[in-house]
Structure 1
């Protein structure tokens, strides 16, 4: 992965975190900074997974890569929400 890919993954991570949070039903007890952090990690990991699957560089918008990243962000936000609810209970 090139440096431009890492920078774009970081910027896309901001959007991915928000979309991943919106994909979950109900209210999440996860703050904005944690959502952004999960989105950045999901974007980076999703880019690596998409590259490994050979779907990272396609003509036009990389829809499969976006879906992978959003799904990872949703899983990450849900896991963080679940772990935070256990520590508060």
Structure 2
């Protein structure tokens, strides 16, 4: 059941990250969820490293770190996805 929560939370984190990043991200929904999962894991690792992984009440610091991680992963994955697909972020492809 933990994997199901990881997918749900990853999708939510990925969608929020895409909403925060200016412009349009041309990545599929499955990659958004994967980026959210990886960003959440990155944020959890950072929270553990900073010593704020377990606090009383709602772990706002950990959640913000997860969102920041998801934003970073979405930015990197979007760049890689567009490079692999032959698209440019600045506009249409130019012919040589």
Q: TM-score range by the shorter chain?
A: 0.7 to 0.9
List runs of 5+ in structure 1 lacking aligned partners.
Answer: none
Higher share in helix = 1
Q: Secondary structure at the match of 2:58?
A: coil
> Cα deviation per residue 1:42-85 (whole Å; 9 max; x = unaligned)?
11121121012111111111111111111111111111111222
TM-score w.r.t. length of structure 2: 0.75
Question: Greater RCO between the two (CA within 8 Å, min separation 6)?
Answer: 1
Structure label with greater radius of gyration: 2
Q: How far apart, in 1, do the equivalents of 2:17 and 2:4 lie?
A: 17
Match of 1:53 in 2: 50
- Cα distance in 2 for residues equivalent to 1:48 and 1:8: 20
CA RMSD, aligned part only?
A: 2.1
Question: In structure 1, what is the equivalent of residue 91 of structure 2?
Answer: none
Preserved contact between residue 52 and residue 62 of structure 2 (Cα < 8 Å): yes
TM-score by length of 1: 0.81
> How many pairs align?
85
Matched, 1:23 2:4: no
Which contiguous aligned blocks of 4+ residues in structure 1 show a shift greater than 6 angstroms?
none
